[in-house]
Structure 1
Amino acid sequence: MYFKSILLVSTLTFCYVNGAVLLWSNNKFADISPLRGFSDENLEDLVKKMGYPEVTVYKSSFSLLPELEVHLNGYYTAYNPNGDISTENATEISGQDLSLLETKQRFDLAGEGSVLSVLVLPNGRSKREVTSGSSTTETSPTTAKGPVLYKGKSKKDIYTLLYSSQPLLLRTSSNSSNLELGQSTMVTVNTASKDPITKLFVKVRVGEDNNDLMVLQFFFVWSKTYWSLKAVNLSSLTANYSANLNIVNQFSVPAHFSYHCNGVTVFADTTKTTELLIYDMQVQIDSKNGAFDDAYDCVDFMTVPIWSGLFVTALLGVGLIIALTAISEIKTMDKFDNPKTKPLVITVAE
């Protein structure tokens, strides 16, 4: 197989080049010569020729290639050992993240859009320096009960943020179970150039021993200059479980604003048997500095108590106006009050 041959080439040449690039897509793309360099400009030209597909850039070590082979069946692939792709905004993956990658690709293949994935493989020396310590994308299992922030960055340095004051709660009425979803171990953002949908992928550890892995896929939809959070798909990587949940209370927020809502935001399926609860949620998909911008609150500006107060004030104001108008219409006899005029004489007959 071609893919197996490139694995051998990679092991022989990675010490002499700056890096290598592996590409795969669900649509056929132009041949990439392994004898020429492949830079960011070449990647931009390829994206343009493919009609601007949804592009995701990863980075990893050469040791991941044998494990990755089984996940590329059915894809069009290409390999270039002389790659020079910027990895500043790439998502670093390890062998433990292949399950998340497999889940994400399963969602992509089910859709109709074109997808292009790029894996950058730096040279062996620099990669050993990076992996000698702890991974930057993997966090140790945690059972913290505090706030949760999911933060991902797209290729264009645009951040997608989702905050909850408590760990998310997955509640299933069919088996009367409650599952807390805390801090993430990996977050990726996918935004296609001509696709109004932005996808936020979050992998979290769940369960008492943190052995179960759950993938949350949040769907954000753009409508002109407004965006909204429509749904979330849940998929367990260690158990045969998945669910598609829609947000109960719809909202729409202008660009460059965040959305905030005190209390509980609920995502539920059509039968209301599975619910995902987010506490005091604040979310934004177009943050430029990695922090929330001014927030649109879910509580309307004119609430019921405000309307009640305005109604009572209006009634009192109308009554005051009527009283002042009635007083102004009273006419007195000025003759009795003017001392310069002849006084009025009234004779009384006995």
Structure 2
Amino acid sequence: MAPKEVLTSNDEILGQVLSALQSEDIPYTAILTALRPSRVVRDVSDLTPEKMGRQLLQKDEAPPPLRFPESGTPQILFWASNFSVAFNNTWHDLTNLTFGNNPPVNVNDSKWSPQASQLVLKYGNVNRSSLTIRFHIRNVLYNVSARHWFSLHLVEVIRGGGAPIRFNVTQITAPSNYSFSCAQVSSFPPSEALLVPDGRQDVKVMMADFQIQSYNVTGPRFSYASDCSGFFSPGIWMGLLTSLLLVAIFTYGLHMVMSLKTMDRFDDPKGPTISVPQTE
């Protein structure tokens, strides 16, 4: 059957089932799924099930980023779609405790200055213990580029009243008027980790879709992002080198063909032999 006929038949069957349920006053919940939403409802506050009718599942907008201070003009913005820490290979999800409207995390101990900033996240109860995570950020003027660059150089994890567990940070830097984003910032695997543990290995940190900005924040949204992925990936380098090799082979072959020359005279096996006089 043609796709149009299949969809029409399915729609008729769904309509018959829903009509039968409505005629019998039977309460029901219908969930219809698809590859993408049919439309996005921005404001659902005044919508009722009767007004909604049959609609495909819709994905809500992402929660706003964490900001410091919580009121007024923000100075630090932080966001991650998945923020988790592990103690002795036991993972604890901090995403819902950190982001959203009125999250329970406390950021009042955070600090900001033009030269250095510190984002402090305090959680009251994570696996029956308090948890504090500190992000240390520096803002430095580089004379070569004649501009300020900020860098996240240290992350500290403090559980309960114990000593801080430090992670040295690599490659998280961007111009001060930009934000920094990365698909994953974690302490594993060790060969590709952006968070390098300083000592203990029983604590791990993982942040997916990580983004942070500490300077030149103009509102509740991030500025243009400087991504952690380099412009020339290994695949791009392989393609460029292969293309250069093929171009070199083609150029050499073309030069060889163009340099070929034919003889002005040829020997005739039935005629006299060509003699070339030698002159001194």
TM-score (norm 1): 0.46
Is residue 277 from structure 1 mapped to residue 206 from structure 2 by the alignment?
Answer: yes
Q: Could you tell me the percent identity over the aligned residues?
A: 20
Structure number with higher strand proportion: 1
Q: Deviations over 1:138-194 (max 9, x none)?
A: xxxxxxxx878321139994531111111x222123xx432222324332442235x
More helix by share: 1
Whether 1:303 and 2:233 are equivalent positions in the alignment is yes
Query: For the structure 1 residues 165 and 289, does the alpha-carbon distance in structure 2 shift closer, same or farther, using more than 3 Å as the test?
Result: same
Q: Deviations over 1:300-348 (max 9, x none)?
A: 1111111111111111000011111112212346899xxxxxxxx9982
Question: Residues 248 and 273 (structure 1 numbering): CA distance in 2 closer, same or farther, change over 3 Å?
Answer: farther
User: Who is 1:187 aligned against?
Assistant: 107
Q: Distance in 1 between matches of 2:271 and 2:206?
A: 92
Unmatched segments (≥5 aa) in structure 2:
1-61, 142-147, 188-194, 273-280
Which residue type is aligned with residue 171 of structure 1? A
In structure 2, what residue type is equivalent to 1:187? V
Across the aligned residues of Structure 1 and Structure 2, the Cα RMSD in angstroms comes to 3.3
Change in Cα spacing, 1:285 to 1:247, as seen in structure 2 (3 Å) is same
Q: 1:89-118: per-residue Cα shift (whole Å, max 9, x none)?
A: xxxxxxxxxxxxxxxxxxxxxxxxxxxxxx
Checking the alignment, whether the CA contact within 8 Å between 2:84 and 2:206 is kept in structure 1 is yes
Matches of 1:179 and 1:206 in 2, distance apart?
11
Q: CA deviation at 1:256?
A: 0.9
Residue 174 of structure 2 is aligned to residue 253 of structure 1: yes
Q: How many Å separate the matches in 2 of 1:331 and 1:205?
A: 87
What's 2:140 paired with? 223
**Distance in 1, Cα, partners of 2:92 & 2:118:** 23
- 8 Å CA contact retained: 2:134, 2:157: yes
Q: Secondary structure at the match of 1:301?
A: coil
Counterpart Cα distance in 1 of 2:257 and 2:220: 63
- TM-score, with structure 2 as normaliser: 0.57
The aligned runs of 1:78-227 (5 Å cut-off) are: 149-153=65-69, 157-166=73-82, 168-173=83-88, 176-181=89-94, 182-183=97-98, 184-185=103-104, 186-188=106-108, 189-192=110-113, 196-207=115-126, 212-224=129-141, 225-227=148-150
Instruction: Give the paired residue count.
Output: 188
Q: Which residue of 1 aligns with 2:252?
A: 322
- The alignment status of 1:293 with 2:208, answered yes or no, reads no
Structure 1: runs of 5+ lacking an equivalent? 1-145, 337-344
